[in-house]
Amino acid sequence: MPMRTPAPRAASSDRQLMAAACLFRGLSEPNRLAIVQHLTRGEHRVVDLVDHLGLAQSTVSEHLACLRDCGLVTVRPEGRASWYCLSRPELFDLLTAAESFLAATGEQVVLCVTAEAVTPKRGSLR
């Protein structure tokens, strides 16, 4: 039986895949994911997130910068404070879907040797 050659992907499909990969990369670090989960409750200042997560202010700020770069959070200055919130309400739906998926497959994801090989080392911000 002859082998079928897969049809080439369109350039727009490649861009969409790259955008999706960047989105998931932004959510791939546990502390960034914890920040996003906390922001589902509403706006927070860096100091609020520092208190909640128990991380250094500089670490929280770097994670927020990454999340801003990914378009996942926005910042609203107010006086000397900056208030962070989710940029899109659909992000909450994505997190809910991910939690459902993990409830069904969590053990498989945790035990996945391939995922472990590409996971950044602990302490790496990006």
User: Nearest-CA neighbor of 84 among 34, 28, 36?
Assistant: 36
Tokens of 26: 């932004």
Which pLDDT band holds residue 122 (cuts at 50, 70, 90)?
A: very low
71 in helix, strand or coil? coil
Query: Cα dihedral sign for 20, 26, 30, 36?
Result: negative
Region 72-88 average pLDDT: 94
DSSP state of 126: -
**pLDDT tens across 52-78, in order?**
999 999 999 999 999 998 889 999 999
What pLDDT, on the 0 to 100 scale, is given for residue 68?
93
Q: Rounded to an integer, what distance in angstroms lies between the CA atom of residue 39 and that of residue 95?
A: 12
In this structure, which topology does domain 17-118 adopt according to CATH?
A: Arc Repressor Mutant, subunit A (1.10.10)
Angle between helix 30-39 and helix 90-111 axes, rounded to 10 deg: 150
